[in-house]
Amino acid sequence: MYRGYSGDDKPYPQRHSPLPRQLSDITPATLTRLLGYRYPGIAVESMEVTGIIESHTTKLWLRLTFNGVGRDAGIPAHVCVKANFTGEHLNVDICELEARFYHYLSPSLGDQVATCYYADWDNDGQGLIIFEDLEQRGGRFSQTTDHHGIEGTVQALEDLAKLHATLWNSPALTQHPWLPLSMQTPIDNDQIRIMQYCIDLNLANPNYRKVIPATFLENPDRLQSAYDGLIAWEQAQDSPYCLLLGDCHPGNAYIKPDGHRIWIDWQLARKGRPWRDLTYLMISMLTIDERRQSERDLLRHYRECLLACGVTAVADEQQIFEHYRRWVIYGLQVWLGNLDSWQVGVHLNERFFTAAVDLGTWQALL
């Protein structure tokens, strides 16, 4: 089991039936019932499916019409429903966690996250959220295959610093026992073991073997040892916590028309220190040459952005670099456990394996 919190804190105690478990359960009547817990008297009068992505967590885009209660509540016609409709992997409570995030914490983040109109969970791994259809904003979803360049990475780090600063050292982070502490929860600490079957597939893939150093291919078990070293390093720290996206790669952002980001996919939300998000995002976004050219300047810029937001007790530049060079191993194991059928990841493996050599990551952690 990889559930982190089992408290009984349902946001709408008047709901006694389980949340929908199948796509066919999503009907105007079901949506009327669910939204009615938050907006009494609301009625969904019609529903049209405009898009769907089916995976472990399904995203269902809908066009709805409402009665006057719904219109007065400001719920847009175009929404997205996100939940686990497969019934698989409910022992990994990422849908439940994301629903809690949107219910409890997203209001404090303003326009840094999508507007959520309903978030609920069943305390068994299932969670369901209804939020705005971001495509209606006229921007675009960022992709892991995009070329962002140094300038694009600067903008992303400015947005990331704002996100981290919003709840920097905030009491809100300790008021929610459901919010896991980074690298002190089974899903984090056992990621390699959970994803080992995918890692093995990639290590046998000729396309991956071309970009992975021979020294690693000869001894892949060193990944777990290095990752354990990162866990020990992080658990020994005593600097302030902030809110982490947790899975902070380029594809988990929506870029608004003004160039700023809305952070999406909060299934690995954490309280923790910012180096996890910072390193994972930065190395994913930059080509190898861009990283080598700019990483020190970018780390400095991120730190300056944090300070400009008014936070205190920020690590100095050398301390940040020491965190950064170690946290490379986190992104490395994530992308080595990613299948190309989910997201194209060969180029990201090359970036992280190269960074681990350039920055002495293996030596620092083993």
Q: pLDDT tens for the chain, 366 residues: list them.
A: 445 555 578 899 999 999 999 999 999 999 999 999 999 999 999 999 999 998 879 999 999 999 999 999 999 999 999 999 987 766 678 999 999 999 999 999 999 999 999 999 998 889 999 999 999 999 999 999 999 999 999 999 999 999 999 999 999 999 999 999 999 999 999 999 999 999 999 999 999 999 999 999 999 999 999 999 999 999 999 999 999 999 999 999 999 999 999 999 999 999 999 999 999 999 999 999 999 999 999 999 999 999 999 999 999 999 999 999 999 999 999 999 998 878 789 999 999 999 999 999 999 999
20-28: Cβ within 8 A, 24+ apart = 20/83, 20/85, 20/128, 21/84, 21/85, 21/87, 21/126, 22/85, 23/52, 23/54, 23/58, 23/60, 23/85, 26/60, 26/62, 26/81, 28/64
SS3 34: helix
Burial (Cβ within 10 Å: 0-12, 13-18, ≥19) of residue 55: exposed
Domain ranges within the chain, ordered by starting residue? 23-137, 140-365
CA distance 96 to 121: 5
Q: Which tokens in the block code for residue 303?
A: 């730190």
Per-residue pLDDT at 6 = 55
Determine how many CB atoms are found less than 10 A away from the CB of residue 16.
Answer: 7
pTM of this structure: 0.95
CA distance 37 to 12: 6
Q: Is 120 left (phi over 0), alpha (psi -120 to 50) or beta?
A: beta
Using CA atoms, how far apart are residues 2 and 290, in angstroms rounded to an integer? Answer: 37
Q: Tokens 């089974």 identify what position? A: 186
State which fold the 23-137 domain adopts.
Phosphorylase Kinase; domain 1 (3.30.200)
Q: In this predicted model, what pLDDT tens digit does every residue of 20-37 receive, in sequence order?
A: 999 999 999 999 999 999
Which CATH code, of 3.90.1200.10, 3.40.190.10, 3.30.930.10, 3.40.50.300, is assigned to 140-365?
3.90.1200.10
DSSP 204: T
